[in-house]
Amino acid sequence: MNKKLFFILIKILVSSALIYWILNSVSLDEVFASMASAHPGILMVAFLLYFVGYCITAIRWRLLLRTQGIDVPLLKLIQSFMVALFFNNFLPSTVGGDAMRVYDSWRFGGSKTRAVAVVFTDRIFGMLALMVIATLAAMMSEDVAKIAPNLYWWLGLTLAGLMVVVGVIFFTDKLSRLLLKGLANAPVTILRKLGEKLTDVVQAFHGRHDVAVKALGLSILLQVNVIIHFYLIGYALQLSVPMLAFFVIIPIAIVIMMLPVTINGIGIRESVFVFFLGTYGVAQVDAVAFAWISFGFVITQGVVGGIVYALRNESVSPKNRLG
């Protein structure tokens, strides 16, 4: 058995164990009844917010591509992102979509190195925005200290780390040189590889302060859109959870679901929402219904992305160079 297959089997086992544990404490009939009780109009609005997110993501991606002298129509980037979601949802990891976006960034006219740099930087801004929102919301929420007293430290350290990475990429020359030199001489292989990737990113974006500010602003707007999407699902289910709570719960839940320990977050998704929503008095049945409706939306957008992929033109020749 090769290593890749072994890890896939481990993920399947972890997902299965978590789902079994969750379903042992709830009735499937009650979960389905809760899902059926959700307001369809509100759910439709929640689903349509995905398309708002596609547009924001495409604008951010285009901003980063333009710094590399590549100009691509927004519609092409939206279609590419939808295809990436298909690969995210129907491959046993969340990196398939990133690989597709790297491929498309290269196909649109970038070098392979710069294509990786663009997608890596795009991801970093997404994570930074998540942590900014979660940290600010946690500071304003009185419930956080009761639910997870050490959460402030975890959020603060993660936010600080991401800010250092962004600073290295876009701002500080001295810190960039010191960090990249340290990573290049690191005794651990994974750190040396990270140093190589970060070197490529720094070469692609260093000094573009205007791009950093715009990309962060778009990323925060995107994450607010995601949080409102989840809030509307809760509202459709008549969950008595304040909106501010979602600004804490959702960023943390997204980060946890990205951990490569299950098949696309299956099992972790249910466990996270049962825990966090439960602290606000939401019954396990309703929390699982919330998780499954959100997962149903994820699968649906993946199917739509698959249709876009099947219909798109696979030309590898366009070189959309500015100037």
Structure confidence by residue, pLDDT tens digits, 277-290: 998 899 999 999 99
3-state secondary structure (DSSP) of residue 269: helix
Give pLDDT, residue 12. Answer: 85
CA distance 45 to 62: 26
Give pLDDT, residue 317. Answer: 45
* Amino acid occupying residue 55: C
Provide Rg for the chain, Cα atoms.
20
Average pLDDT, the chain: 84
Nearest to 66 by CA among 202, 197, 204: 204
**pLDDT surpassing 60 at residue 318:** no
**pLDDT surpassing 50 at residue 214:** yes
Give pLDDT, residue 194. Answer: 67
Q: What is the pLDDT of residues 149-195, one digit of tens each?
A: 677 778 788 888 888 878 877 776 666 677 667 766 777 676 667 66
Nearest to 106 by CA among 75, 82, 81, 70: 70
Give pLDDT, residue 209. Answer: 80
Nearest to 225 by CA among 50, 18, 19: 50
Q: φ and ψ at 89, to 5 degrees?
A: -85, -25
Give pLDDT, residue 269. Answer: 92
The answer to whether the beta carbons of residues 278 and 56 sit under 8 Å apart is no
Give pLDDT, residue 59. Answer: 96
Q: For 2, which DSSP code?
A: -
Give pLDDT, residue 315. Answer: 56
The answer to whether the beta carbons of residues 128 and 159 sit under 8 Å apart is yes
CA distance 14 to 245: 28
Residue % of the chain over a pLDDT of 90:
37
**pLDDT surpassing 50 at residue 22:** yes
CA distance 268 to 19: 8
For the whole prediction, is pTM greater than 0.75? yes
Distances (CA, A) of 294 to 67, 104, 220: 35, 27, 21
Task: Let me know the angle formed at the C-alpha of 253 by 102 and 134, rounded to the nearest 5 degrees.
Answer: 95
CA distance 190 to 197: 11
153, exposed or middle or buried, with CB in 10 Å at 0-12, 13-18, 19+? exposed
Nearest to 64 by CA among 108, 14, 30: 108
Residue 155: CB atoms within 10 Å:
25
Give pLDDT, residue 265. Answer: 82
pLDDT category at 316 given cuts 50, 70, 90 is: very low
